[in-house]
A and B are shown apart, each in its own frame.
Chain A
Amino acid sequence: MRRKSLAAGAAAAAVFLTSAPAATWGANYFPNIPLITQDGKTVHFYDDLLKDKKVVIDFIYTRCGDSCPLETARLAQVQRILGERMGRDIFFYSFSVDPVRDTPEELKAYAEKFHAGPGWLFLTGKKADIEAVRKKFGLGARAGEDELTGHSTSLMIGNTATGQWIRDSSLDNPQYLAVIIRDWLSSWADPTPGNSYADKPPLPPSAADKGAYLFQSRCAACHTIGQGDSLGPDLLGVTATRKADWLAGMIAAPNEMLSRKDPVATALFARYKELRMPNLRLGEVDVSALIGYLKAQDAAQDGGHGKPLR
């Protein structure tokens, strides 16, 4: 870019270098607004969070009962895959779109529920500033949309050192997301190991079974079947331990179970760090497909007599 003479009032600043090409979407584009982390620390958006980093950005609010917990749990899966790269050169930033209620304390509690590790910041700040950030990513609420529930569940994946940004689904395959975050936007200096074609697996069970697909895409971020507790309880044996209508109700509308103070739901809520199980708006068909899948897993793993759920 050619150097330009500056207008009156800014003459004192006329000392600059030519810009690097990727700088088009750098300091000149992103506002350097102050934000507060879940640890109460003040950081500046561009200088501290974006500059020369690979970042994943999403927008959440802690009271959200549907998409945010799932999205955050998905990111937690990706975080595990990225391992030691987290906090070294890769950073996740979850911005609260409800910054007045989401104090640093609230965000800290939320982060802990999802086992957020180094390099994953939950950010609050002035409402107008957060809105400015959303708009900068083209993710602002549209006219007529509720600014909380209307927030996008997409991820913005970017690298300010290269000026490359990708928008992807937070529901994408976590392995593929990790590849995009780690490799696509970088210099490929640390190529990811992957399968060779010889390892081509057979048709995954999710192709044949709706329950398996739903479990993989909607539940596996928080639950395992027989692999131990994750963010939520291990579900092995759950079809034997819980009554059918309770299980169906919990899968369909966990928020309603909590609000009417169902004793089991309340106890589980307390046990799992008050992490709100999302209402995924699954229809009856989906719920019964999931229960069918859970039953089949129980039968396959130990004849349906799984360990009792605490």
Chain B
Amino acid sequence: MSTEHFFLPWNASKARLREAENARKNRLEIVKALSQGQVSRRELFKWGLITGAGLVAPIHGLSPFVTRAYADDGGGIPTGAPPSPGTAGLAFTQPLMRFEVLPRNPYAVLNPIPTIEANTTLMPVDPLLGGSYGPIEGRPPGPDWAHQRWNEFLPTVAIEVTQEGAKPNPNGNIPFKFHPSLPAQGPNAMWTFNGTLPPKLILARYGEPILFRHHNKLPADITQNGGFGRHTLTTHLHNGHHGAENDGFTGAFFFPSQFYDNHYPMILAGHDSINVNGTDPMAGSPDDSGGINKVPGDWHETMSTHWFHDHMFSFTSHNTYKGNVGMFNIYSALDRGNESINDGVNLQLPSGTAKSWGNLDYDINLMLADKAWDGDGQLYFDIFNTDGFLGDAMTVNFCYKPYFEVEARRYRFRILNGCVSRFFELALSDSSPMIQIANDGNLLPQPVTLTRLDEQGIGERYDIVIDFSRYTPGQKVRMVNLCEHQNGAGPSRDLSVAQAIAGKSSDPCVGEFLEFRVIPMKAGSDPSKVPATLIPNPDLSKIPVARQRTFAFKDGGSDSSPWTIRTDNGEDLDASVSRLSAAPKAGTREVWKLINDGGEWDHPIHIHFEEGQILSRSGGDGNSSAGVPAWEKGRKDVYRLRKDGTVTITMQFREFAGMFMEHCHNTVHEDRAMLLRFEVGKGLVPMLTPSPTPQGVKFVGTSVLKGAF
């Protein structure tokens, strides 16, 4: 089969798409029949269905990618498979599903009671996982993986979830479908938190530690995965300020029937060095009656919008694509989630007024993700695509191109790029302004008004405010993606709004994907504000720079493999879970230079644990802003390198220790080795590398790059 012409035109006729899908099925069945001895090669050869080389003949009706038959159409879709069927006429016909808020239970309901070190009580292990007995908790045992500062930050809130195959949500009887007219996803096609739609949201506030218990209820049979995904999990709260035992380290995964306890202390960074007595009213947490509970730490480090997802070594792209993603809103004295409390601290961002904190009426989480599905409507993923996987169907909160009714007033949207490899660039269909208030969940020093947002890489969160009071009820305006991909390596170009709406791109995820339908405002007035000053950056200028490090991200080369990171002018290295590349000292500040050594490729680089500030940046095409743009002048945790670009950042390493990661958040690149391990804190000794088995976690040695310490 020729692999040169992989794409079918996205606008191919229905009949042709049906043909292509049938061809894919037929070909599959013939090859299978051959392999199972039901027909002989000679017979197939005689029928002209197979070539001398043993390949299925590239004839019409057998190969979905036959080029001759389809060569008269231009363009192509990026998935490497026939277009996801069944979407015709479905755009903007279903309402947007809002995130489902996970119940916040009292800590005492957890059974068994969480333990500081991993709970190694034994239970029988499924024979499919080797049988015998294994621990009930998958967290590595021993003191190095004990919850740090547990007694200081005793959890008060328990959040308990499962990971399991897709099923209807009994809460509202919601079927697991991208659209009511599309087929339901089977239990092996998608694996989500609690196995249901909508995606899940955690509401957290500073000073209120959370115990997040994650039960793995995926099939013990590793083959029950619908063609992709892995039943071992490790859950990363991006970008939580917590001990590494709660960070979803890629090699510290847990198995079906086990649980893993994550302890999220919910403290401000700088807890040990700034405002240590907790007297500053700006550093606080909303109480239940409209007031503030003061907390220690630096209020300039206040964070607002996180998300959480699987981080399994080599399978992060599979599992996040398959549905292991959720969002996590953090509430603080400044960002209260109540727009009417005017106490000189609360910024009164659009949210609502009914509750003292955490109102979601006008504060909307939007998770954007491109998906693809096969002829049966089941989620499709190409596990051997190494540049990056692209879907051809745009979803918002797992809904195919929905609409959303908005009142004629201000709304806040917390927009997450939840794709595997796709970047976005967002605008409104009338090119009217949006106000960006936060980047990577951190409120900016000043809001920035834009008619098109910057490119948004995988894992980046942009919080924006749109004022719909400029429309009259009955009007519609749509959100548009302007960023085109030809492949998963990086964006190919950014279109104008007019071009994108007119369908001038062969990329089916360019164009309109979310419709806002304006209705009258329910309350008499809109008390929300977007103040001119939000959160100024912490001042790091007085803190000495303990170390400078350089990391070069490369996608190939004549003498090394693709997907490498070069540390401090050392070697280009693939990821290795057992190699320690950098070991910043606890309590210090460092400057890291991140280099895109890959020419035309782009990489959104995520550094776990603390937020950084961009000191300088370069690269990009002629339209990219020189220097650090206003919307990147706050704190960040994902740094888009841009084509040929370099980003220099500074960050601190405070309060907690352990093994963390730095990696490309194009999860295909990450899974293909563009990831490294760094460790904070425990002196001059690297931690052992966990090597989990269902019967208990073992440890192997760690190799250490020269200069890591």
Q: Which A residues form the contact surface with B (CB < 8 A)?
A: 1-2, 4, 6-10, 12-17, 19-29, 31-34, 44, 46-47, 51, 66-67, 126, 129, 132, 135-139, 142, 145-146, 149-150, 152-154, 161-173, 175-176, 179, 183, 185, 187-197, 199-204, 206-207, 209-210, 213, 216-217, 281
Contact = CB atoms under 8 A, between A and B. Distances in A.
Contacts of A12: 39, 43, 47
A187 B128 contact: yes
Given A138-B385, A161-B223, A213 B230 contact: no
Contacts of A166: 313-315
5 contacts: A7-B61, A167-B386, A187-B129, A194-B691, A194-B693
Nearest to A187: B128
Contacts, number: 266
A15 B33 contact: yes
A149 B31 CA distance: 33
B123 interface: no
Interface residues of B, number: 95
A91 B178 CA distance: 41
A209 B706 contact: yes
A213 B706 contact: yes
B106 interface: no
Nearest to A23: B32
B149 interface: no
B703 A204 contact: yes
Q: 4 tightest A-B contacts by CB?
A: A194-B698, A169-B574, A24-B227, A138-B386
Nearest to B132: A191
Contacts of B615: none
A154 B672 contact: yes
A179 B222 CA distance: 17
A13 B689 CA distance: 51
Given A16-B38, A19-B32, A192 B3 contact: no
Contacts of B53: 31, 33-34, 126, 129
A171 B561 CA distance: 11
A21 B314 contact: no
Contacts of B702: 204
Interface string B635-673: 000000000000000000000000000000000000111
Interface string B186-202: 00100000000000000
B254 interface: no
Interface stretch (B20-28, B155-163, B346-354): B20-28
A34 B384 contact: no
B709 A207 contact: yes
Q: Counting chain A CB atoms within 10 Å of each CB, which of B577, B580, B695 scores highest?
A: B577
A187 B29 CA distance: 27
B559 A281 contact: yes
Contacts of B150: none
Contacts of B376: 1-2
Contact of B689 (A154, A176, A213, A216): A176
Given A126-B53, A136-B384, A172-B574, A21 B227 contact: yes
Interface string B682-703: 0011101101011100111111
A21 B704 contact: no
B49 interface: yes
B704 A213 contact: yes
A176 B693 contact: no
B30 A13 contact: yes
A163 B137 CA distance: 27
A171 B700 CA distance: 16
A208 B672 CA distance: 29
B545 interface: no
A216 B700 contact: no
Given A136-B384, A187-B130, A152 B562 contact: yes
B47 A21 contact: no
